[in-house]
């Protein structure tokens, strides 16, 4: 089993009543990207203006090449509060860790440490994995 070519990871929270500044205060850091419901957003590539259907707060880890998802997860978690009661209060925003795994061959894999899985579980963070085949070169979108 080979390593994935590279990986991307983003912690995401979404909600109708999500106020990004409040989430930042609770978690102890600013997001990479955020918006409030109803905010006008401009597409970075198209310039198209759209309205946010829900509030969001996102914190990205640096891309790792080759893949090192454990390190990316802790890069994110180490910036945030360790207070599990705060994380409990954020459960209504259904936090998830959205990860892109980009294959280098037809059979790549990755282990995640027990410590990583425990840390996510204690905070109620769902793990979402998108795996991109080596043949999907033109359609890859980084999380």
Count up the domains in the chain and report the number.
1
pLDDT confidence of residue 143: 64
Residue 27's SS3 state is helix
Angle at 75 between CA 90 and CA 128, to 5 degrees: 55
pLDDT tens digits, one per residue of 42-92: 988 888 999 999 999 999 999 999 889 999 999 999 999 999 999 999 999
- Confirm whether 91 is domain-assigned: yes
- Confirm whether 68 is domain-assigned: yes
- Confirm whether 73 is domain-assigned: yes
Angle at 9 between CA 7 and CA 12, to 5 degrees: 160
pLDDT tens digits, one per residue of 128-139: 999 998 776 545
Total-model pTM: 0.89
* Mean pLDDT of the region 97-111: 88
For 115, the domain range is: 6-139
pLDDT confidence of residue 2: 64
Q: Identify whether the C-beta of residue 15 lies closer than 8 Å to the C-beta of residue 54.
A: yes
């Amino acid at each position: 089993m080979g390593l994935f070519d590279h990986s991307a990871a983003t912690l995401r929270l979404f909600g109708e009543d999500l106020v990004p500044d409040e989430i930042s205060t609770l978690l102890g850091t600013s997001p990479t990207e955020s918006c409030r419901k109803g905010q006008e957003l401009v597409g970075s590539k198209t310039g198209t203006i759209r309205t946010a259907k829900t509030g969001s707060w996102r914190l990205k880890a640096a891309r790792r090449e080759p893949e090192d998802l454990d390190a990316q997860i802790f890069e994110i978690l180490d910036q945030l509060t360790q207070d599990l009661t705060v994380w409990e209060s954020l459960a209504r925003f259904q936090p998830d860790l959205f990860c892109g795994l980009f294959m280098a061959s037809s059979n790549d894999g990755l282990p995640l440490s027990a410590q990583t899985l425990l840390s996510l579980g204690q905070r109620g963070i769902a793990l979402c994995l998108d795996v991109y085949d080596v043949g999907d070169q033109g359609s890859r979108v980084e999380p």
